[in-house]
Amino acid sequence: MPLNKNAMSNLNIKVITGQTELAQDAREKIQPFLELPEVSETEHRQDADLRLVLGGDGTALQEARHSLEIPNNGLPPIFGIKAGNPRSKGMLLNDVLDLEPDALLEIIRTAIDQKFHYLQASILNGSDETQEILAFNDINTVREAAQSAAMRIILNNETIAERAMGDGMLVCTPQGSTAYNLAAGGKVATAMSTLQITGLISSVSSLVVPDNSHIRFEILEPEKRPQRAETDGRIISRDVRSLEISKSELHSVLKFIKELPFRRKMIQEALRSN
């Protein structure tokens, strides 16, 4: 929801700056905004009304994942300002760096909330150990040997692929649909109430399912065709035997300018990708 004017009279902001030179330059550029009488810069995220992220989508993703360290979604919303590679999509960001301080304040005041749910997964490995993980963008398997990966895919207790072959499988959130999923041949989501299952150079292409779906991957011939599990580009587990994936109730809130909310950004990206 938009921040109200009373809150704006004493807006506490935590600034998170990416590591690139462009992001560091952006930090200097917004200094006049931070010096407005209505704005105060705070040191701790928990004391802020808003987290102002300067950088690319990777910086915004990292900050969204930081929310997982605070229980019950206890951190304030994120307003991302695109300050990374000019060629990057900036799907999680707002292109407002060149605005005057007062105009930026008004843009932030009227920005619209978008709730981004995480994926949750239970991963079983060859030692019968279970690992619980969360992902903002995606969870995927990747083969660890020369042989193709093989797995059974079960959707809501119904087997939809008895033996899917390829390099692995990916499940993504709507916000993750424009990342690894798109590069792997998946589609850009245009609704926030979906998940997507995409094969990585696989006999399975891409399947959009409701976000209340329960997805299970059972690894076949794991000794001959070992697979690892990754989340948001990080290796989580090796020698995977099964994964159970669904939408988590945990979420982060990101804010977008009312002229270009996140769903409209997704539709624009989908049109460009077709």
The answer to whether residue 239 is catalytic is no
Catalytic residue among 49, 57, 138, 232: 57
Pairing of strands 112-125, 240-256: antiparallel
Q: Which residues are catalytic?
A: 57
